[in-house]
Structure 1
Amino acid sequence: MIVTDQQQHLTGVAYRMLGTMADAEDAVQETFARWYRLTEAERAAIDRPAAWLTRVVSRVCLDVLGSARARRERYVGEWLPEPVPADAVDDPAERAALGDSVGLALLVVLETLTPAERVVFVLHEVFAVPFGEISQAVGRSPAACRQLATSARRRVDAARADAPAPARRDAVVRAFAAACAGGDLGALVALLDPDVVLRSDGGGLVSAARNPVRGAVHVARFLLGLLAKNPGVVLEEVTTGDGVGYGWRDEGGMRGVLTLGVAGDRPTDVWIVLNPEKLTRWG
């Protein structure tokens, strides 16, 4: 096996664990560095290099997640995971690795898990890694890993409980975009969940709301005000891991990606990623 053949798989694992492609790519490079620091005899003694690499990248991610809280406290404004376009590449296997099966909605939920819960959930629920192997990655017994997986699955399932079917979800998102484009405050307020929350991530590099915007009226006013202040911006339908989303594009290129969390027939969360460092894959 050529070790670098595992790069897309490892990147997919690390992206789900860490939430940004830059962090995922760093974790994969560190994993390869550890592989090549082994002697030839040590590498030859590894029966399943792919499993070894997955275990090591998981350990690297666990270490990164352990320090993430301190890094997030220094982050300017709200932090959101990085959205990855589901149709960015032609190869279905590569699309799966990079995130066509995971969207911002899931990544936001994963952010609420402990580092160990997140690693165990991704390895077991997404990549079907046995608990015996997971235990070597996280330094806990297989039984403890099962408990972590159960706890994580319970929280993820609760967040997904009211999620509509994909087609219905996309219809709600398109209705939301039409209401925004129409500029009708009343229509947009009526469409939103009364307790909707908007978060925008500029990373201190571009203007964004420093704190969450809460409530249908406040969110609607924020969105319409944002569009009014940027008349050159065009809402462009894009395909994200969540389904339909919208890019904020002007003559200079993609300025932001917007996607929604939907429960029933209403948007409950609005996520706008404006940080240019998280938009590099959008052209």
Structure 2
Amino acid sequence: MKAITQDAYGTTETLAYTDVPTPVVGDDEVLIQVRAAGMDPSVWHLMTGLPLVGRLALGIRKPKIRIRGWDAAGVVEAVGSRVTRFRPGDEVFGAVPGAFAEFACAPEIKFQHKPVNLSFEQAAALPTSGMTALVGLRDVGHIQPGQNVLIIGASGGVGHLAVQLAKHFGAQVTGVCSGPNAEAVLALGADTVIDYTSEKLTGTYDLILDMAGNRPLAELRSLLTPTGTLVLGGGENGGRWMAGIDRSLRAVLLSPFVRHRLRGLLALPDPEVLGVLAELATAGAVTPKLTRTFALPEVPTAIDHLLTAHPLGKIVITVS
């Protein structure tokens, strides 16, 4: 089968479109023919091996998993002897390591049935970004109906899903994005939009979900109610060792000494969360917005586009 592989950390130049063996399904695993694969910043982090502290889990000298990609949607090709929830021909989606390939294999618990109202491309866009948005609002932010919620990065891959989820949970939502994306964020359900390129952040909020990652903690805390919650889900400060987690770590260390709840966000794949996402998508409460698709050989170009264009919503890799 064809796949995007990587044998050493580095730039997109280290990625190769090549032939690899098709995975062999294990007893508790599901093999799918990939129709579409999701793209999010975690792909870049694994490709570069940054932050360096992450290599303790991902591989010290090179990635443990040779094939790139985390999220996939497709059709079940084969199932293991202990698999009970799926059978060949089922349409599924999930957080699947090695998704940038014609076939991908993962344990049964990694998959859910694809919502019938989502295309394969939309379903592939949902797992990592959707789980991050849902965990950030529900589990870490403890969102409540009627709260004033500020979502920074509201037009991004996680942010545009968070806007929809926050409205589903009954919040009053203010989205922060650039002016050209304001109309799209309002269409997602935001009550108000702040254009960060021309407006200062104002207002008082019970919950802030920051997926943009560059504003100082003091500035964000000034926007909170006295006992408000700040959830930090983005950021690339901290150098090679702590890129993306430095600000969150400082917030967690400060939290015990202030009235505000300051939390970092790390949403790992979770079957329960993915199941809830599937139900919400089926009910129409959350729908990924796709801005562009790339073919499997174009993964390096797609990664560069994700980093430089800051696209509205999600970009997806199509596999046929």
| Fold agreement, TM-score > 0.5 | no
TM-score by length of 1: 0.28
Instruction: Looking at secondary structure, tell me which structure has more helix per residue.
Output: 1
